[in-house]
Amino acid sequence: MAEPLNIALAGLGTVGGGVVRLIETNAELITRRARRPIRIAAVSARDRSKDRGVDLSRYDWEDDAAALAARADVDVVVEMVGGSDGPALALARNAIAGGKSLVTANKAMIAHHGLELAAAAEAAHVALKFEAAVAGGIPVIKGLSEGAAANAIDRVYGILNGTCNYILSTMEDTGADFADVLGEAQRLGYAEADPTFDIEGTDAAHKLSILAAIAFGSRLRFDAVETMGISRLKAADIDQARALGYVIRLLGMAEVDRSAGNGAGGAARLFQRVRPHLVPINHPLAHVDGATNAVVAEGNFMGRLLFQGAGAGDGPTASAVVADIIDIARGETGAAFSMPTGELEAMEPAESGHRTGSAYIRFTVPDRPGVLADITAAMRDAGVSIESLIQKGDPDQDGEVILALVTHPGPERAVTEALRILEGSQSLTAQPLVMQIIGA
């Protein structure tokens, strides 16, 4: 049998502890599948005395994670420190520069610095793997880069943040408002004490930019992801979506736009957006509940593929990390983004205004005559055709009512123009909320 593959783990939180348990529990099976033993040579974390539920006494301990990259007995560094910069990025750079392969679950670091790290890994002839960075235990990166490699991917989209999906599906089930469900999610451990990255869409945007690069062979453009989270959603939005035959899901969506007039010479541009959408109840994503993730990829020969499963947690995420380690043990390194970095296409961001579709628009308005006329006049002047309109019940204690409308398919720029016309209007008491409606 071949010599063991020696790994070092930086970060022993939920996922790091899960990696240790998985390697120890399934050692014989992993050895057979990797065709060589996988051995933990050293570990590092901030608190040496913390009880992590696993016996770490058999492994060398490094107080400074940076020391892992310098160890001669380490072949692969596994980074689970987290953060887009700082110690995690320094460790990643040093490990690759030292001729060691890198496995990471750090989507923020890959979204911001993935191209740099991939180029460095290619130059050093080592692997950069990050299956666990997107959708936890779902093998979506491997599915796109290997299983769908022969296809031109037209679009990739999905539910990429389990916290938001838990909140939205709980709002559906209970009728509770956003703030109440968020508080309960924090008490249950589904949401962080500071949930900003999750509920404002940043976490999903990190993952979407990685998926887009792999699906389309494009250079990473996290800075170009249009992002809106779920913090402005109300129970009334959930109710009205249900009445219209939809559920609300926070979706990340990316596609290559080759339409005429969207770039000189018809050059391809990359559209990336994270925001709440209305999803038809007969769409596969409408039935993804709780903290589950799901990704849909549409290719020119394969049709629609759906990847669904646990998007977080020690077991699923550790499974993805160890799968990457097994690939390296087998010598299956490959290009980090499915093709060499020099072959990745530099695509400029696509404008969203010319995109065509239907939208849900929620207005908070005073309960007085003339309000509806002001809104419909703005829609008419901007060229927005209204398909349906719903007013929610009686006014609340502030004398406000919820007014929601659904538009006929049309360019997004028309909706933007209608809202511009209404800016500063006394017919609105709050900023309108716009959500696109995806097809079945």
Instruction: State whether 429 and 288 are in the same domain.
Output: no
Q: Which of 79, 105, 133 is the last residue of a domain?
A: 133
Based on the fold, state whether residues 211 and 291 are members of the same structural domain.
yes
Query: Structurally, how many domains does the chain consist of?
Result: 3
Distance CA(331)–CA(316), nearest Å, equals 23
Whose structure tokens read 């990340």? 252
Q: How far apart are CA 211 and CA 161, in angstroms?
A: 14
Verify that 340 and 391 share a domain, yes or no. no
Q: What is the rounded CA–CA span in Å between residue 135 and residue 110?
A: 14
Phi, psi of 133 (to 5 degrees): -75, -20
Residue 98 tokens, joined: 């030292």
Instruction: Measure the CA–CA gap between 391 and 248, rounded to whole angstroms.
Output: 18
Q: Do residues 300 and 153 share a domain?
A: yes
Domain co-membership, 167 together with 304: yes
Q: What angle separates helix 162-174 from helix 178-188, to the nearest 10 degrees?
A: 120
Block residue for tokens 């360019």: 411
**What pLDDT is recorded for position 318?**
94
Same domain, 290 and 203: yes
pLDDT surpasses 70 at 82? yes
At 249, is the secondary structure helix, strand, or coil?
strand
Cα three-residue angle 357-152-122, rounded to 5 degrees: 120
Q: What is the pLDDT of residues 248-267, one digit of tens each?
A: 999 999 999 876 445 445 67
Residue 261 has a pLDDT of: 46
The rounded distance, in Å, linking the Cα atoms of 358 and 415 is 10
Q: Is residue 126 part of a domain?
A: yes
The domain that holds 102 is classified in CATH as 3.40.50.720
At 314-349, the pLDDT tens digits run 889 999 999 999 999 999 888 999 999 999 999 999
Query: Catalytic residue positions?
Result: 207
Q: What is the pLDDT of residues 20-56, one digit of tens each?
A: 999 999 999 999 999 999 999 999 998 888 888 888 9
Calculate the alpha carbon distances from 19 to 64, 95, 288 in Å: 20, 19, 27
pTM: 0.93
Q: Report which of 364, 379, 377 is spatially closest to residue 237, judged by C-alpha positions.
A: 364
CB within 8 Å of 57: residues ≥ 6 apart = none
SS3 (DSSP) at 277: strand
Question: Strands of 101-104's sheet, edge to edge?
Answer: 60-61, 38-44, 5-10, 76-79, 101-104, 128-129
Helix axes 14-25, 27-34, angle to 10 degrees: 80
**280 phi and psi, to 5 degrees?**
-60, 145
Q: Could you tell me which residues are beta bridge partners of residue 157?
A: 253, 296
Does any domain span residue 322? no
The answer to whether residues 299 and 187 belong to one domain is: yes
Same domain flag for 129 and 160: no
Q: Is residue 319 domain-resident?
A: no
Q: How far apart, in whole angstroms, are the C-alpha atoms of residue 25 and residue 341?
A: 37
Question: Based on the domain organization, do 49 and 124 belong to the same domain?
Answer: yes
Q: Is residue 324 included in any domain, yes or no? A: no
* Shared-domain flag, residues 25 and 81: yes
Within a domain: 157: yes
Domain of 269, CATH number, reads 3.30.360.10
Mean pLDDT of 58-71: 94
Picking from 82, 121, 120, the residue whose alpha carbon sits closest to that of residue 104 is 82
In a domain, 315, yes or no: no
Residue 231's nearest CA partner among 250, 244, 206, 247 is 250
Categorize the per-residue pLDDT at 376 as very low, low, confident or very high, splitting at 50, 70 and 90: very high
CA angle 53, 56, 60 (to 5 degrees): 160
Residue 9 lies in a domain: yes
Domain check: are 155 and 273 in the same one?
yes
Domain contains 216: yes
pLDDT tens for residues 174-212? 999 999 999 998 988 888 889 999 999 999 999 999 999
Helix (H) or strand (E) holding 115: helix 107-124
Are 146 and 272 contained in the same domain? yes
Q: How far apart are the first and last CA of the chain?
A: 51
CA dist list (Å): 427 to 304, 367, 424, 432: 43, 9, 9, 11
Residue-number span of the structural domain to which 97 is assigned: 5-133
Q: Which of 103, 133, 163 is the last residue of a domain?
A: 133
**Rounded (to 5) percent helix, strand, coil in the chain:** 40, 25, 35
Token pair 């099976």 in the structure block, residue:
29
pLDDT tens track for 282-315: 999 999 998 899 999 999 999 999 999 988 788 8
Can you give the CATH number for the domain in which 360 is found?
A: 3.30.70.260
Percent of the chain with pLDDT strictly greater than 90: 80
Show which of 349, 371, 399 is a domain's final residue.
Answer: 349
